[in-house]
Amino acid sequence: NAGVTQTPKFRVLKTGQSMTLLCAQDMNHEYMYWYRQDPGMGLRLIHYSVGEGTTAKGEVPDGYNVSRLKKQNFLLGLESAAPSQTSVYFCASSSRGVRETQYFGPGTRLLVL
Amino acid sequence: SQQGEEDPQALSIQEGENATMNCSYKTSINNLQWYRQNSGRGLVHLILIRSNEREKHSGRLRVTLDTSKKSSSLLITASRAADTASYFCATDTGGGNKLTFGTGTQLKVEL
């Protein structure tokens, strides 16, 4: 039982490049979330999903897209990376949304030059 | 500004001492959660307290909630070096499937 895993762990991009971050969970959770963490800002919600095939915008969705084609996977895409997207990205999942515990992945550190 | 704000921003104590950190929030909540983050790692859930609860315990952790003051506190008793981490509160305000995180308290427990 791996919990929540994220791929890759670290990536360097040049401005304008694209990439996809993968989040996978093996707990059969309905809810999945993508956050970014910046120094002094806490975690901010980018996008989330309440079930397979659904996605919704969070607090800071601009510049990102997501897809939830399979229940266990939640993909975060950057179509044209910008230096402002340099951050640590965390994925989380939950069985009952915000009413219960969120389980977090180890994070992906992204540097955009 | 953040829905949840922790106080203090940083706290340094000796092993064996108690550590108290506070979280204040602005709007009414359904529940409040505390998470721990070790350096370079993901967040780990500690305790969830619902709006109709006033106190919860889990091992050496004690969380209180005062909805009239819109505040919560996390007490770690008999701290250990392994408790060194950042601690975040997160609130469910009922405005959708979203938790709003505070900026965290950095706790350092020295031997």
Tens-digit pLDDT profile for residues B64-101: 999 999 999 999 999 999 999 999 999 988 777 788 99
Nearest to B106 by CA among B37, B53, B29: B37
Looking at CA atoms only, how far is residue A29 from chain B in angstroms?
14
CB atoms within 10 A of CB B52: 9
Q: For chain B, give the mean pLDDT.
A: 93
**Chain B positions in Cβ-Cβ contact with residue A103 (cut-off 8 Å):** 45
Predicted local distance difference test score (pLDDT) of residue B3: 65
Mean pLDDT over residues A57-63, rounded?
95
Contact between chains at A43 and B48 (C-beta distance less than 8 A): no
> How far off is chain B from A22, nearest CA to CA, in Å?
15
- Give the A-side interface with B, CB within 8 Å: 4, 31, 35, 40-45, 48, 50, 56, 58-59, 90, 92, 97-107
Q: Is B47 on the interface with A (CB under 8 A)?
A: no
Residue A69 gets the label, from left (phi > 0), alpha (psi -120 to 50) or beta, of alpha
Among the partner-chain residues B4, B92, B97, the one whose CB lies closest to the CB of A48 is B97
Mean pLDDT for A28-45 is 92
Token representation of residue A61: 């969705």
How many angstroms away from the CA of B105 is the closest CA of chain A? 10
Indicate whether A41 pLDDT > 80.
Answer: no
Which tokens hold the place of B69? 């003051």
Residues of A in Cβ contact (< 8 Å) with B41: 106-107
Mean per-residue pLDDT for B7-20? 95
Residue A46 backbone zone (phi > 0: left; psi -120 to 50: alpha; other: beta):
alpha
Q: A56 to chain B: which residues are within 8 Å by CB?
A: 96-97
Distance CA A9, CA A5 (A): 10
Residue B62's DSSP bridge partners are B57, B75
- The chain A residue lying nearest B92, using CA atoms, is A98
Q: Is the pLDDT of residue A112 over 80?
A: yes
Closest-CA distance, A40 to chain B, in angstroms, reads 6
At residue A106, the pLDDT reads: 96
**What confidence category does residue B1 fall into, taking pLDDT thresholds of 50, 70 and 90?**
very low
> Taking residues A69-88, what's their average pLDDT?
97
Q: By CA distance, what is B100's nearest residue in A?
A: A44
More confident residue, B2 or A75: A75
Q: What's chain A's average pLDDT?
A: 94
pLDDT at A40 over 80: no
Q: How far, in Å, CA of B72 to CA of B79, rounded?
A: 19
